[in-house]
Structure 1
Amino acid sequence: MSASSTTWLDTRSAGVLAHISSLPGRYGIGNLGPGARAFMDLLADAGVRYWQICPIGPTGFGDSPYQLFSGRAGNPYFIDLAELVEDGLLKESELAPLSALPAERVDYGRLYENFWLVLGRAYDRFADRAGDELPGLGSFAEFRRQNQDWLEPFADFMALKSHFGGYPWTYWPAEYRTWRPSMRAVLPGATRREADRQAFYQYVFFGQWQRLRTYAREKGVGIIGDVPIFVALDSADTWQNRAVFRLDPAGQPVVVAGVPPDYFSATGQLWGNPLYDWDYLAQTGYAWWIDRLRAAFSLYDIIRLDHFRGFDTYWEIPATASDARGGVWRKGPGQAFFTAVKQALPEARIIAEDLGYIGPDVVALRQAAGLPGMKILQFAYGHDAHNVNLPHYFRPGSVAYIGTHDNNTARGWLEAVPPELAQQIDTYFQLHGERSAWPMIRVLLSTVSRLAVVTMQDLLDLPAAATLNRPGTCEGNWQWRFTMVQLNELRRDRLPTLRDWIGTYDRAGDHAIVEYSEPMAR
């Protein structure tokens, strides 16, 4: 059996990558309401079978979904506030400052200033009612009971963070630096109500999330979620589970995560996340990680496991370093980890994000784990001597992209390619002198990769200004949004072509691909 046939990926299908923050919405950022459903309608009508998103948790400084206050919580920014108006918890007039925010980008500063006041007001009115549920969302008390293992520590964490002026937990008084089940009883007075608010926000978020997921299933669209390999130091995850990480007695990291110099940055990327104590995790049967993945599969149909190579070897950087160049490679948990995952979650469908410097050992681990890897068309030119990202070298057991949330848009990339590569790229993708994403989309859909994913920016054929994230930079990221006008124009102008190509290249995702032929029917 070939390596390409050992993954779970046994149908040909297409997906679209668009983070929730990028969706149309009335209140300054994409949310789980009508804009999300309209987007889902478009995918279903085109025959697209998957919607891929970035992590959905609450973001901190820099607004990156890869630096979260919790890997289990949802981002309250994504709550559809219009539902709270319908439920009588808010007044439309109170949403005016949010409605005035830009529709084509996220202004995180103004969003922060206005959003939390409004959402806090909604909780206060809910609490004053002395009721227990909102229409269609079930019991708040039952939600807290079912999710208490992660929800109560998270709510305590956020309440204390607010109480201590937003400082990281490593700077809190010693008695609050380690979470314990009795923490709620010793919280300073006002923070108990804030903890209840935070729990309520999660109740609303996940109620709306499950409703949207049901809508997606009815439309035949699955959701590909994203699980970052690392968690933030300033997070409820680290605060609650200090033994899982390589921290000193004060909770400060001894070493941190990142990557060496690469395509994105000449000095590497210093992420700053605490690294795992893999020896400790192995002794527990990787219980913390398995619980994390199990929770992800309760929300998504497929997960993309970020920075897969870190399970083989990871870049260890001294916590005092100013950039990533002084790091060293260390061995990760390897196949033992994936064996434990397979035993605990035998039906898990995982995509390995195997980008960056990938040697044969990483490929061997991915194949042994039975996971499809990723191929990026933009990476086929200018820096990959082995050409593994050229479409004619793809293998069926892979997931193909033009670019991801970390890449330039296809149009922006085409407009910036060096002159010595421009003619080669023009010939390969049959651009005929144009700088449009759509010839690249056709090639992407035609590849043998079982799953092909297009970013929403490329469907809209947008220039570099629509890039969602520029790795190695701290400002101006995660802001791009599309509008209902753009969504409707895409439906009018491009939907027939996209639907035809999905049919032409057999990407309806409705039957398993087999590696044999049968006699023709008589």
Structure 2
Amino acid sequence: MTQQYPDFRSERRAGVLLHITSLPGTGNTGDLGSEAFHFINFLADCGMTWWQMLPIGPPQGGLSPYQTSSAHAGNPQLISLETLVNSGWLNQDALIDSLDHTAKKALLQQAYRGFNIKATIAERTEFNIFCANHAYWLEDYVLFRAISEQRQKSWWQWPKGLRTREKRALTQARDKLLDALNYIRWEQFIFFQQWTALHHHAATVGVRLFGDMPIFVAYDSAEVWARPQDFDLNPDGSLRVVAGVPPDYFSATGQRWGNPLYHWEQLEKSQFRFWIDRIRTQLKLFDLIRIDHFRGFEAYWEIPATEEYAIQGEWVKAGGDALFAALHREFGDLPLIAEDLGVITAEVDELRRKYQLPGMKVLQFAFDGSNDNIHLPSYHTQDSVVYTGTHDNDTTCGWYESLTPESRHYVYEYLGNPNEAMPWVFIRTAFASVANLAIIPLQDLLGLDGQHRMNLPGTSDGNWQWRFSWSQVDAELPARLRYLIKLYGRAAQDHTA
């Protein structure tokens, strides 16, 4: 039977953009514990229907959620230790503040030992069922990670037998790393178990989860190691070309992301198994999924791996049409949003419309002085998601403060010289838009300046670390939002699951 998804294309709704790591609480990052449940209750109180977040996979050294070691696995740092204590597998004294990555992993391993000692037959059965149901990605991931942690090297630096996945070498590795493999399986079991509980709670109060799926995967990832034929690599597995974008709003020299690009001909020969598996996992986690860098499905910016800067790249046609046709054959009408920002051609827009994927409008991009700018409210369409800004933008207050007096005047003149100050004039504009879905970053709802932005594209330091505090939330905020959401027809009529 075809899975049913929320009617996101016709409902007028509103939501908040906040990554889970930005939640408050003990430890060095937000997680899936009580603060996540509290935040969902807060959204429901505000009349918000959607919680949009960034990718939730295990990030690599730079903490970017867009560079992860797996296209399927959850970030174990998001596991709630509090919940593990409540399960009886971890001692209460584990709940201390400022845990770094290493310290939290040690506590997770302690909880794993507690599970092995105290878990009931039903809990062990649930674990085994999880491993069986997720084997299509889990087994490659746990072996990849166990070998990575044992050798402390990237997969292309492993001995040849492991690097090229020779059967004998992999069998020996599984035998030698048996306990590590079981621990990593358990870690993912706990992540998905906690996620499912959060997702269920959200549904009971009328909040839906809106995920974000990067188009590319990291070079040092389980997928590139396990399925190198799906990627445009040299015969020895080294990078031939890498992903990025040409000069744009964020960078005068473009952005060199460094991800491997796809071997589209091989993907099609495999009937897009890589993407079908990936979408299947995401649909277990989210009610709606934003596909990052949608334009890369029509044509992508190919940069020779030897080039230091993205400006040396070129556009190359992709196989997105065949991919989305295959996805529709497999899943039917999918709950996908296209991140169609950047250099968007008629061909990219045609691909998006062919598969009825809503695009994005960003108010911070609208006021460049061009009266035909597609981000201006007068050009919005119902099949859009409107944002004041995204995780890559400055906060709206920070953005507005950076404008010249002439630009500030133009913004207010266009919007009819409203009496409200920023960011609320933008929040109201987003809610008033004909776009069916309006998403506001939490920083804007809190009126925060540019010191609170999440990411500055093209830089590697200080990003992805912002967290909010409940002390920043005005007591009148829920009532103010409920009023605006009702005023502009974005209120859900029925908050039942």
TM above 0.5, yes or no, is: yes
Residue 479 of structure 2, aligned match among 492, 496, 499: 496
Question: Identity across aligned pairs (percent)?
Answer: 42
Closer/same/farther in 2, CA of residues 254 and 44 from structure 1, 3 Å limit = same
Closer/same/farther in 2, CA of residues 296 and 383 from structure 1, 3 Å limit = farther
Deviations 1:355-393 (A, max 9, x none): 011121111111112111000000012386731111111
The Cα shift of 1:200 comes to 1.0
- Supply the AA of the counterpart residue of 1:144: C
Is the deviation greater in 142-151 or in 426-435? Answer: 426-435
What pairs up with 1:384-463 in 2 under 5 angstroms? 386-429=372-415, 436-463=422-449
- Supply the AA of the counterpart residue of 1:508: A
Residue 308 of structure 1, aligned match among 270, 277, 294: 294
What pairs up with 1:187-336 in 2 under 5 angstroms? 187=173, 191-336=177-322
Contact 1:426 1:433 survives alignment (8 Å): no
In structure 2, the residue matched to 1:3 is none
The Cα shift of 1:323 comes to 1.1
- Supply the AA of the counterpart residue of 1:346: G
Root-mean-square deviation (CA), in Å? 2.1
Contact 1:415 1:435 survives alignment (8 Å): no
TM-score, normalised by the number of residues in structure 1: 0.89
Alignment pair present for 1:506 and 2:492:
no
Any unmatched runs of 5+ in structure 2?
1-6
Closer/same/farther in 2, CA of residues 368 and 482 from structure 1, 3 Å limit = same
Alignment pair present for 1:372 and 2:361:
no
1:272 is paired with a residue of what secondary structure?
strand
In structure 2, the residue matched to 1:142 is 129
Deviations 1:477-496 (A, max 9, x none): 1101112333xx33x12111
Aligned residues: 488
TM-score, normalised by the number of residues in structure 2: 0.93
CA distance in 1, matches of 2:423, 2:263: 43
Any unmatched runs of 5+ in structure 1?
1-6, 102-109, 512-522
Contact 1:71 1:237 survives alignment (8 Å): yes
CA distance in 1, matches of 2:307, 2:177: 35
What pairs up with 1:350-365 in 2 under 5 angstroms? 350-365=336-351
Closer/same/farther in 2, CA of residues 133 and 386 from structure 1, 3 Å limit = farther
Deviations 1:233-259 (A, max 9, x none): 000111111111011232112111000
Alignment pair present for 1:124 and 2:107:
no
Closer/same/farther in 2, CA of residues 94 and 183 from structure 1, 3 Å limit = farther
Closer/same/farther in 2, CA of residues 179 and 417 from structure 1, 3 Å limit = farther
The Cα shift of 1:309 comes to 0.3
Is the deviation greater in 296-305 or in 420-429? Answer: 420-429
1:11 is paired with a residue of what secondary structure?
coil
In structure 1, the residue matched to 2:4 is none
CA distance in 2, matches of 1:50, 1:130: 35
CA distance in 2, matches of 1:182, 1:500: 65
In structure 2, the residue matched to 1:162 is 149
Closer/same/farther in 2, CA of residues 181 and 462 from structure 1, 3 Å limit = farther
In structure 2, the residue matched to 1:22 is 22
Alignment pair present for 1:474 and 2:460:
yes
CA distance in 2, matches of 1:62, 1:321: 21
CA distance in 1, matches of 2:364, 2:272: 35
- Supply the AA of the counterpart residue of 1:326: Q
1:74 is paired with a residue of what secondary structure?
coil
Closer/same/farther in 2, CA of residues 182 and 49 from structure 1, 3 Å limit = farther
- Supply the AA of the counterpart residue of 1:62: G
The Cα shift of 1:133 comes to 5.9
Contact 1:20 1:32 survives alignment (8 Å): yes
The Cα shift of 1:127 comes to 2.9
Contact 2:161 2:169 survives alignment (8 Å): no
